[in-house]
Every structure is written in structure tokens, then in C-alpha cells.
Amino acid sequence: MSGKYETVIGVEIHVELGTKTKLFCSCRTDFDADVNTQTCPVCLGMPGILPVLNAKAVEYGIKAALAMNCRICEHSIFERKNYFYPDLPKGYQISQYRQPLSENGYVEINSNGDRKRIGVTRVHLEDDAAKNIHTGEIDESLTSYVDFNRSGVPLIEIVSEPDMRSVEEMKSYCETVKSILEYTGVSDCDMEKGQMRIEANISVRRADDPETTTDRSEIKNLNSVRYAMRAVEYEVERHTKALESGKTLLMETRLFDVNKGVTRAMRSKEEAHDYRYFPEPDLVPVEPDRDWIEEIRRNLPELPNARRQRFMDEYELPEHDATLLVSDKKLADYYESCVKSYSNPKTVSNWVLNELLALLSNARQNIDECKITPEHFAGMMKLVDDGTISGKIAKTVYEEMFNTAKMADVVVKEKGLLQITDEAEIAAIVEQVMAENPGPVQDYRDGKKKAMGFLIGQVMKATKGKANPQLVNKIFGEKL
């Protein structure tokens, strides 16, 4: 977008907390359970029920809020947010509105290589709705079902300030929040399982006159960061066009159609008063003990930013490597165990970021499924360091270890990958290559040094990459 306009994006993220039981009853929250097997009168919204607050959910909420630098409020209350929908049997959601669990935080994101703070307005607790399951496409579906297993699962809602100025900043924000929550262990944030859901608010204004702005629209139910980016890109364009042509946009809630790549109006944007919020009479205020909060703060794990800095200081990694490694907690953990087994941090980083990530991606595997243990990796590097195999062959060995979980020395033996370090053997191959390629040999002797690369390549080809490169160089130097 040209410098004439400025995009204003705010994000609300709902995250299911990884507690064993629900927010107000003791039903389990197992994701894979059969439909409607984890329910009770409380989460089915029967008349006369009494909710009982899950202390673990409060602890996780506080933990998440502290990790995002929020102030934990001394006194917060639950309120009923009233609306009707088939997935909400009570007729209201129990949420926090006027007095949330926490407020005034921030997270630091990467914006074009710089660090930028995005304000976190609040992190509050609420219960999840049940899940509607439609047969076929939602607008043509003749039958809908409701699975109440999800009804009452604890959520935190993380509301950002409208501080993001581009789709890339929004992406970085969502990924940073996800990573922070994964580090704290309060949620797996598995977006495919709906454990993290994104909503974005967008408006566009004139850069020189912020008062000239479109009314914001809100896009609901974005189930992946990629969809969120596509949806917001579409909206930014729609808003920019409206601003250019002086057209007024309605303040509204929109849905993103993944197949068509467009957003469409769902309903006019509801205001808070539409929900008739009032304090939940069956729950007492949440007044967490200061000592308890401090204990949770003390026990916070090292968070991604701190870990990135430590990787740069302790392992002397470039910022690029450190950033990539810490973005995924499990990847960073794996990296550190490899460094414990083989203490050359930059070499380990190269293997993990170049070879391993590509192999995992091709195999559609996660890092916790990786068959190469840190010990196996160290075993392979020992073979490289003592000259048993070349660096090039190591890539073949690594891939074989990845596929079979075998030790490097076993792979080398089985595949006959031992490096050729016998000078006489290499010399014979060098002579043969020179005899077969008189042109390049003459080129080299005429001063075209680049011809050497071709000749070395031919030796490597003839030995399937097993010739010791230093020896090949040395022998060519002698013979040419």
C-alpha cells in the first residue's frame, strides 16, 4: 500500500487452556473423546446448576498474562454475556468484561528486523461454547449437530491494542503469542484442533489525517495464521478502495470464505450493550493472593525472547539462527540436547535448520517424531571429524538415520560409504579423469582456474562422493 494510507489492525486470540477438566465443572477436556461423552448438567446448561471455578485454569490464565507482561488485577469478576446460539445451552457465556483477570501488557514482535512492542489490552478467562457440526457446507446444510464436549472448556481471550500496521506485523504477533503460550505450557495452541482461534479488526486511515478512517470490520473464526493473513489482506484492499472512493463501510462482523478467498458480511457489529452483561451471581470475585502470583512469576520458564538472546550469547549464534530455533520450543529443546552431545553450536544449528527442517517438512513430521537422537547425531559428527566420511556423504547418512533410526556407523557400513583416503587409489582415479577430459585439463593449464572445479566434480562422481576432498585437491595440484 502506498504511504498515503495506514492500516490499523488489532487482534483477539482465543486459546483453550490445557487443564485436565473444564472451567466450571469436573468434566474432562480430552480432545479425542467420543462426542457428548464429557458432559454434565453444569456444562449442558441445565437450570439450577452451580458453577465452581477451576483453580488450575486461573493459575494458567495468570501464567499466560504474566508471560505477556500484564498486570494481574487484585479483583476481577465473571459476568454473563447473553446471547442465543445452539452451541450455548445456558443462553449466556461466562466471561469477564468490566473487571478482567489482567490488563496492560505487551509482547515484542519482529517488524522488518526491528523489535516492536504490541500492547496487550487484557487477558481474561471465559468458557468455550460447544461445537456445532454441520452436514455439508454450512449455508446448504440440512442437519446440524452439537457436540457438548467442548462446552465449558477454559479459554483465555487475549485482546491486543490496535498497534499493528501491516499483515506481516499481525503474522509476527500471532506467532509470537503462540510461541509464548507454548513455552509457558498453558496450551499446545494446536490450531488444527481449534485450540487457538484468531479474530482481527481492520480499518484503514489516511496517514496524514488519522481522523479520516474507515469504520473497522471484524473477521471471525480464523483457524490458521495463513488464513488470517489472507483475510486481512483482502479487507485492507476493500477498506483502501472505500477510503479512496469516499464510500462508507458498515461497522460489521465478517467471515472469511477460505475457498473463494473473500470475506463476507455476517452481521452488523454488535456493541457490548447488546450482550446485556451483568455479574455472574453464582461466582465469587477472583482475588488471587499476591504471594501466589509471585510464585507463578518466579516459576515462569525462560521465554522465547530471553532464550533467543541466550542462544546468541552462549552459543554465539547469528540472530537469524537463534530466532528460527527458538520460535518452536520443541525445536529449541532438541537443538540444545544436540549441543550437549556435540559441542559445536553453529555446526549443530546448520544441521538442524538446513537438513533436519527440510526432512521433517517433506515427511510431514513434527520434531518430537524425529528418529535422530542427539547421540546418533553426535556419532555421525565423530565420523565426519575423524575423516571416516566426508561432509557430503554425511548428508546421505543423516537422511538414512532420519528414515531408519540407525546409528551412523551402521549406515556407513551397510551402504559402503567409507571415505576413500588411500592416496594411490585416488591418484588412479584422478589420472583416469584427466585422460578422459583433455579439454578442461588444457583449459586449466591455460590459466582457466575454474576448470579445476569441473575435474574435482568428475572424481567425486566416479567415487560417488566418497573421495577425501583435501586429497583430491592435493593430487590434482601435483598432477596439473
Give residues in contact with Zn ion (CB under 5 A).
25, 27, 40, 42-43
Distance CA 407, CA 375 (A): 9
Whether the CB-CB separation of 218 and 254 falls below 8 Å is answered with yes
Kindly tell me which of 19 and 110 has the beta carbon lying closer to Zn ion.
19
Q: Which bin fits 88, alpha (ψ -120 to 50), beta or left (φ > 0)?
A: beta
| b/e burial code for range 264-285 (CB count within 10 A of at least 16 → b) | eeeeebeeeeebebeebeebee
3-state secondary structure (DSSP) of residue 29: coil
Indicate the length of the chain as a whole number. 480
**Minimal distance in Å, beta carbon 43 to Zn ion?**
3
Nearer to Zn ion, 103 or 128 (CB): 128
Q: Please, which residue, 127 or 336, has the CB nearer to Zn ion?
A: 127
Of 49 and 452, which CB lies nearer to Zn ion in the complex structure?
Answer: 49
Q: Are 45 and 91 in contact (CB under 8 A)?
A: yes
CA distance 65 to 71: 8
CB closer to Zn ion, 23 vs 191: 23
Chain centre distance of CA 404:
28
CB of 11 closer than 8 Å to CB of 170: yes
Least separation in angstroms between residue 34's CB and Zn ion is 15
Q: What's the min distance (Å) between Cβ of 223 and Zn ion?
A: 25
What letters, b where the CB count within 10 A reaches 16 and e where it falls short, cover 62-101?
bbbbbbbbbebbeebbbbbbeeeeebbbbebbbbbbebbb
Q: Which is nearer to Zn ion, 18 or 152 (CB)?
A: 152
Name which of 23 and 370 has its Cβ closer to Zn ion.
Answer: 23
Residue 383 Cβ, how far from Zn ion at the closest point, in Å?
A: 57
- Minimum CB distance to Zn ion, residue 148 (Å): 8
At 95, is the secondary structure helix, strand, or coil? strand
| Comparison of 27 and 401: residue with beta carbon closer to Zn ion | 27
CB of 40 to Zn ion, least distance (A): 3
**Nearer of residues 128 and 321 to Zn ion, judged by Cβ:** 128
As a three-state string, the secondary structure of 228-297 is HHHHHHHHHHHHHHHHHHCCCCCCEEEEEECCCCEEEEEEECCCHHHHCCEECCCCCCECCCHHHHHHHH
Q: How far is the CB of 10 from Zn ion (least distance, A)?
A: 33
CB of 1 vs Zn ion, minimal distance in Å: 48
Smallest distance, Zn ion to C-beta of residue 14, A: 20
With the C-alpha atoms ordered 171, 137, 187, 318, is the resulting torsion angle positive or negative?
A: negative
For the record, the C-alpha cell of 474 comes out as: 592435493
